[in-house]
Amino acid sequence: MTFFLTSSPIDVDAVEGDIRATDPGAVISFQVVVRPDRTPRGEVTGLFYDPHRELAEAEWALIASEIAERWPGAKAVAQHGVGVVPVGQTSFLLIVSCPSGSDAFQACQYALDQVKSRVPIWKKDLYADGSSAWCTEHRETLLISDSVMTLPPS
Amino acid sequence: MLTLRFFAQLADRAQTSECACPWAPTARRVLEAKSLWLGLISPGVKVAVNNRWSDWDSPLTDGDIVDFMPPWSLL
């Protein structure tokens, strides 16, 4: 079984090879590769991914099963990096196979949309000066509030 | 007692990713018990209990693990 979350570099060829070995027909591969974006805080040197592990794995398992139900013969495999992923490396890999090419495209788009909306993984920009900032959906950086919460007695 | 877990920006604001607190009937009441936590009550913040999706007003049981998650940006 391939786990969705991985702290190792994603081996795209190996994952795709496993899919191709099943003689699937159409195979669509989608990757997110970390870019050296320029932001007001400086150039991004990498991203730090922090998931809710249990929910992320559970949601991906559900999404994969939904794809198998909605598109007969379809199979979806995905891996997502956890921790630091440097610029140039793949942080997310999604491969969808299907006997029909059009179904494969639809299933891939479905998988991508569902992963984005349902899988709780947060990312943080890492900068060359050692600082970092959480990203929101629109890549705005959130400033940490001066008002630190008071923790309850344990 | 409840175990509270804060993720991403919420963990930074809490200065911890996990803490314990006395039982409260709902996740909303957990945060309402501390005025400084009121700002965290937001429709954009999702709640999970014992690693399952939940909501602000579902009943809690002593010993539950309650997660507070800000919006995420996966890709």
ipTM of the shown complex: 0.90
At B33-75, the pLDDT tens digits run 876 666 777 888 999 999 999 999 999 999 999 999 999 976 6
* Cβ of residue B65 closer than 8 Å to a chain A Cβ: no
Q: What is the pTM of this model?
A: 0.86
Chain centroid to CA B38: 11
* Cβ of residue B16 closer than 8 Å to a chain A Cβ: yes
For residue A150, the distance in angstroms to the closest alpha carbon of chain B comes to 7
CA count, 13 A, side-chain hemisphere, B30 = 34
Q: For residue A23, which phi and psi values (nearest 5 degrees)?
A: 50, 60
Longest CA span, chain A: 59
Select the residue from A4, A31, A52 to test the B interface by mutation, using most B Cβ atoms within 10 A: A52
